[in-house]
Structure 1
Amino acid sequence: MELSYWEYRTWLSNVDFTIVGSGIVGLTTGIQLRKRFPKAKILILEKGILPQGASTKNAGFACFGSASEILSDLKNHSEEEVLKLAQQRWDGIQELRALLGDSALQFEQNGGHELFLERDKLLFDNCYEKLPMLNALLLSVFKEEAFGISKNTFGFKGVNDLYITQKHEGQINTGAMMEGLLGVAQKEKITILNGISVDEFSNQEGEVVVKTNQFEFKTKKLFITTNGFASQLLEENVKPARAQVLVTKPILNLKIKGTFHFDEGYYYFRNIDNRILFGGGRNLDYKAEETSEFGKTEVVQNELYRLLKEVILPNTDFEIERSWSGIMGVGSKKKPIIKQVSNNVFCGVRLGGMGIAIGSLVGKELARLP
């Protein structure tokens, strides 16, 4: 792409901060940088027509981790690490709500519930037994007991009659959230260029040379916030993880309300606009879903439909209206990577499927580094 003098001078010269990716982390990083540097020239590059990855593809859960998920984390993380993760998720949600407001987010705090399939009785028994320990561990975060027991009042079939409830969990409208963040970025005179993918970058004489699919330019500081696609630009402990999601057509007199998880968080569903949004199944074929390619597979889609029909809506006629996929960033640890990579290059990646909960906090911390 040949740039005119006007194009280069207006958009691509004297750039102070360039951010790769216009998802939750990228937009929040730009907004927070503007607070620190009111006169800086801030540029965000987005490879998609709309923000790609997971920010516009997720289920809209404002969640902090189910009981079984936290117990699983305790096998690979210290209590201190798990507690810090919970605190980051809580702080991140509050940061997001403060930035945009509950009305703009369409935030609803209907509680989150962990279901247990009948085959998972031992898992339920273990979680139930350890609830006092979990509540004690998380007391400093939620200031009260995080988990309690509820009865199956929504007519789910093939599940334990009791499930574990986290009353602080909520749900948001993902599209409204991203529209709100884009609006704030534009109001703050942050330039966003879509359809631009970064191919490579290099440090050169106190600046960073950025090569894209369209042009090459220099920036004083570069921030990588591409999460699930981070391995294409960075050598960090983060790899892509695809999540497949579907949503039904409107269902008359739908009574289900809240966010729900089962199978240690690998499946999740919620109500939205008198519909059920249902996603998960990555554990059916980890290798196939360890990809940065958008797409759907028959094995996952069939299982989502079966569970929807047999467990979630057993006595209700429904039709699937739309299905899609998103790309998360995961690794051997759940702690997000927020660091300086090299001279003038920084990254905020590996959100571990908790982008809504921690994305705005990661962006805020990333903007403090330079």
Structure 2
Amino acid sequence: MEKTNQNTSYWEKSLLSYDYLVIGSGIVGLSTSISIKEKSPNSSVLVLEREVIPTGASGKNAGFSCIGSLTEVLDDLKTMSEKDVVSLVETRYKGLQLLRKRLGDHNIDYKQNGSYELIDPKSDFAKDKKALLKHIEEINDLLKPVLKGDAFSLCSEEETASFKFSPKICKYLIKNNFEGEIDTGKMLRHYTDLAISWGVHIKTGCKVMEYKDDGVGSVSVKVFNHTLGQPIEFIGKKLAICTNAFTKELVKDIDVVPGRGQVIITNPIPNLHLQGIYHFDEGYYYFREKDGCILFGGGRNLDFEGERTTEFKSNKKILKKLDELLKEIIPGVPYTIQQNWSGIMAFSSTKDKKPIINQHSKNVYLGVRMGGMGVAIGSVVGKILSDMMLDDHFSMNTHPSFLRSKL
């Protein structure tokens, strides 16, 4: 007879057995575990987190609650149908509403001051104001059935000038009325507290070595026990893998490409008047105010190949560019960079923006590849994943077409 969990006691067996196992305690993993408890309160749920705190994208982003900029939506329409683009925006919008409803705006410092897209004077959008206004009108009409209002508006020359951005960087400002900002540290703390209040067990420092689906009614997950010097196994009926960019460590044959993002934050700047969130170059660069500092990130498009990694390291080329751009965007404002970090997102190898939400095997389910939009869609992805795990007659046809096509 094969021995498992040698050196664990008879009493500890109950600590290793659960109804549902979840790998990853970021937004998707926590949402999945809470959603399971909401539908099945008496079920036991365990979340396994590889590090002391979740270390991927959920806690390392810029705290943007985005549904998509004008230029991003226009770019999506080049490769996606209008129906799928509307569904994509709807999914982000509904995901943010679920996040806010669960945690409360106060608890996550949510502020809907809107977002602003800086239009580069050298871009095609800046060359024809009439065409730009027509794009805004067309996209507003396209999205109005979902958002119930106009998403985009062109700021007046006076309002644009009041921001004092360098004219070399910004000719026009386009406001998005449906985007906001959050404190992602507070979000993760309150999401974790909410999961615990539902009776979800969360174990940190548990890097999963491997999992095994017996193809009948159970799945085992192997984690190394450093004190015993050997692996131990957790047993569950079903398993959710919510590891985003790190999924290939457990599931080899999957289209998940890591995308590292670099972020800097300045020292507090006296008399800094900067509300809302800002982005440019189709969202590849973004900045905001936080606690009197300027947080600035992006630049992945400068080194796509170098940033396709799960290593948490700085990219000197990108950090140098962020510093240069910040000096250009807000000229004459002295600052020092007090901190920089990187976070790892997950994308498709193609232009496919859909997350992967599927049943990978009999008892194993995947909710991964958030495409850099985990804050917006992570909660709803976790909810859908829990529905799949609990409902034998589950159908994706009840969910937006953006999520259900080609899954």
TM-score by length of structure 1 reads: 0.96
Alignment equivalent of 2:303, drawn from 265, 285, 288: 285
**Deviation (angstroms), 1:105:** 1.0
Alignment of 1:294 with 2:299, yes or no, is no
Q: Which runs of structure 2 are paired with 1:74-223 in the superposition (5 Å)? A: 74-122=77-125, 125=128, 127-150=132-155, 151-152=159-160, 153-157=162-166, 158-204=168-214, 205-214=216-225, 215-223=232-240
- Measure, in 2, the Cα distance between the counterparts of 1:242 and 1:45: 23
Q: In the alignment, what sits opposite 1:369?
A: 388
Two-structure CA RMSD over aligned residues (Å)? 1.6
Amino acid in the other structure paired with 1:40: S
- Measure, in 1, the Cα distance between the counterparts of 2:279 and 2:261: 14
Change (3 A) 1:127 1:365: farther
**Deviation (angstroms), 1:60:** 0.6
- Measure, in 2, the Cα distance between the counterparts of 1:260 and 1:124: 21
Residues 221-267 of structure 1: CA deviation (Å, up to 9, x unaligned): 00011111122222322211111111111110001111001000000
- Measure, in 2, the Cα distance between the counterparts of 1:21 and 1:187: 18
Q: In the alignment, what sits opposite 1:351?
A: 370
Question: Which piece of structure 1 moves more, 141-150 or 18-27?
Answer: 141-150
- Measure, in 2, the Cα distance between the counterparts of 1:124 and 1:249: 36
**Deviation (angstroms), 1:217:** 2.7
Residues 168-224 of structure 1: CA deviation (Å, up to 9, x unaligned): 211000000000001011111211111111122121142112122332232110001
Alignment equivalent of 2:13, drawn from 9, 12, 23: 9
- Measure, in 2, the Cα distance between the counterparts of 1:58 and 1:267: 12
For residue 369 of structure 1, give the secondary structure of its aligned residue in structure 2: helix
Q: In the alignment, what sits opposite 1:46?
A: 49
Amino acid in the other structure paired with 1:320: I
Q: In the alignment, what sits opposite 1:272?
A: 290
Alignment of 1:259 with 2:277, yes or no, is yes
1:44–1:193 CA contact under 8 A, matched in 2: yes
2:120–2:171 CA contact under 8 A, matched in 1: no
**Deviation (angstroms), 1:353:** 0.7
Alignment equivalent of 1:61, drawn from 40, 43, 64: 64
- Measure, in 1, the Cα distance between the counterparts of 2:236 and 2:285: 42
Q: In the alignment, what sits opposite 2:263?
A: 245
2:119–2:125 CA contact under 8 A, matched in 1: no
For residue 242 of structure 1, give the secondary structure of its aligned residue in structure 2: strand
Amino acid in the other structure paired with 2:12: Y
Structure 1: give runs of 5+ residues left out of the alignment: none
2:120–2:172 CA contact under 8 A, matched in 1: no
Amino acid in the other structure paired with 1:131: I
**Deviation (angstroms), 1:276:** 0.7
- Measure, in 2, the Cα distance between the counterparts of 1:301 and 1:254: 22
Change (3 A) 1:224 1:256: same
- Measure, in 2, the Cα distance between the counterparts of 1:219 and 1:8: 15
2:262–2:299 CA contact under 8 A, matched in 1: yes
Alignment equivalent of 2:345, drawn from 304, 328, 342: 328
Identity over aligned pairs, percent: 43
**Deviation (angstroms), 1:124:** 6.6
1:197–1:212 CA contact under 8 A, matched in 2: yes
1:109–1:169 CA contact under 8 A, matched in 2: yes
2:65–2:376 CA contact under 8 A, matched in 1: yes
Structure 2: give runs of 5+ residues left out of the alignment: 226-231, 390-407
For residue 57 of structure 1, give the secondary structure of its aligned residue in structure 2: coil
Q: Which runs of structure 2 are paired with 1:220-239 in the superposition (5 Å)? A: 220-234=237-251, 235-239=253-257
**Deviation (angstroms), 1:274:** 0.7
Change (3 A) 1:291 1:57: same
Question: Which piece of structure 1 moves more, 16-25 or 206-215?
Answer: 206-215
1:121–1:160 CA contact under 8 A, matched in 2: no
Question: Which piece of structure 1 moves more, 333-342 or 160-169?
Answer: 160-169
2:34–2:195 CA contact under 8 A, matched in 1: yes
Question: Which piece of structure 1 moves more, 150-159 or 104-113?
Answer: 150-159
For residue 211 of structure 1, give the secondary structure of its aligned residue in structure 2: strand
